[in-house]
Amino acid sequence: MQPTLAPGDDVFVAPKRQPRVGDIVVAGHPYTSDVVLIKRVSAMTDSHVELASDDPAEGTDSRTFGPLPRHHLIGVVIARL
Amino acid sequence: MLKSLLNALDSAAPAPVAEAHCDGPCGIYDPASARIAAEAVRSMTKKIVALTPPDASDGKAMAHYLNSLTRYVAIKEEEAHKAKEQLLVLWTDFFKPQHLAAHPNLHDIFWKATKLCSACKVEVSPVHADELMEAIEEIHNIFWSVKGRKVDWVLAGG
């Protein structure tokens, strides 16, 4: 998520906040249950969110794994410490 | 003040880690697959060099010779291509810009290693087969240092 976030950055996550397009969110990986993703919401429907990387050349996101069912969302990032 | 309080909280109850680089779906990379293919290339190269053509009048021996030569060449071709594919996957999928910062010669090492795969296909060169193994050993060392693990360089063929 560079340049927005660097490896090792700490962030606050609001678990109950409804995400909007443009928010950075934390979500469960669609295929690997023990991996948690941090990505930016690029599009939304009632049932799914599309996640994008701020560094598209490096990140893995909905271009690879497709739209994510909304129940994978863990929360919205509201601050970087 | 706030930062030190948060650090203390994080030490007591560490926050979960979220990944921005999640090379799913499997995330399993290992230079061993390229090394095994390159070992096969070196083995086939040695066998081709060691073959002695029989007398042309001995049809049965000539058939045996041609069959062996063809098999060795085919396997060398196939395994050299496999080694190249495995190296390209490591180079383009596993390694990231931050690894290049720590290993500035990374691109050059991979470029030379993959060129050696091509040379091993085109030629019958024990020298290039050895150089390919040396290049993959160098990649093995960088790969495992990036992963923060000590993994010995071990050959299947001894």
Closest CA to B126 of B50, B33, B32: B50
User: Is some CB atom of chain A closer than 8 A to the CB atom of B97?
Assistant: yes
- CATH code assigned to B31-146: 1.20.120.400
Residue A1, domain member (yes or no): no
Rounded mean pLDDT of A59-67? 82
Residue A3, domain member (yes or no): no
Confidence at A43, pLDDT banded by 50, 70, 90: very high
Q: How many domains does chain A have?
A: 1
Domain that residue A49 falls in: 11-80
Q: Which residues pair with A76 in a beta bridge?
A: A14, A25
Q: What is the pLDDT of residue A22?
A: 95
Q: Does A61 or A74 have the greater pLDDT score?
A: A74
Q: Which pair of tokens denotes residue B123?
A: 């030629």
Q: How far is CA B118 from the centre of its chain?
A: 13
- The reply to whether residue B18 touches residue A59, judged by beta carbons under 8 angstroms, is no
Distance between CA atoms of residues B146 and B130, nearest Å: 25
Q: How many CA atoms lie within 13 A of A9 on its CB side?
A: 17
Rounded mean pLDDT of A39-52? 93
- The reply to whether residue B25 touches residue A5, judged by beta carbons under 8 angstroms, is no
Q: DSSP secondary structure string, B56-75?
A: TT-HHHHHHHHHHHHHHHHH
% of chain A with per-residue pLDDT over 70: 98
% of chain B with per-residue pLDDT over 90: 70
Q: What is the pLDDT of residue B8?
A: 78
pLDDT tens digits along B49-93 = 999 999 999 999 999 999 999 999 999 999 999 999 999 999 988
Rounded mean pLDDT of B127-142? 98
Distance between CA atoms of residues B48 and B70, nearest Å: 9
Closest CA to B95 of B132, B143, B27: B143
Q: How far is CA A41 from the centre of its chain?
A: 6
Domain boundaries, chain B: 31-146
Residue A5, domain member (yes or no): no
Confidence at A41, pLDDT banded by 50, 70, 90: very high
Average pLDDT across chain B, whole number: 91
- The CATH number that applies at residue A65 is 2.10.109.10
Q: What is the pLDDT of residue A45?
A: 92
Q: Taking CA atoms, what residue in B is nearest to A80?
A: B3
Q: DSSP secondary structure string, A2-58?
A: TTTS-TT--EEEETTSPP-TT-EEEEE-SS-TT-EEEEEEEEE-SSEEEEE-SSTTT
- Residue A43 in contact with residue A21, Cβ under 8 Å? yes
Q: What is the pLDDT of residue B157?
A: 85
pLDDT tens digits along B13-39 = 878 888 776 654 556 789 999 999 999
- Residue A2 in contact with residue A54, Cβ under 8 Å? yes
Burial class (CB in 10 A: 0-12, 13-18, 19+), B11: exposed
Q: Does residue A75 surpass a pLDDT of 60?
A: yes
A22's torsion region: left (phi>0), alpha (psi -120 to 50) or beta?
Answer: left
What residues contact residue B137 under an 8 Å CB cut-off, 6+ apart?
A: B35, B153
Rounded mean pLDDT of A50-79? 87
User: Is some CB atom of chain A closer than 8 A to the CB atom of B27?
Assistant: yes
Q: Does residue B41 surpass a pLDDT of 70?
A: yes
Q: What is the pLDDT of residue B111?
A: 97
Contacts of B18 in chain A (CB under 8 A): 11, 26, 36-38
Contacts of A15 in chain B (CB under 8 A): none
Q: Does B73 or A35 have the greater pLDDT score?
A: B73
Q: Does B5 or B116 have the greater pLDDT score?
A: B116
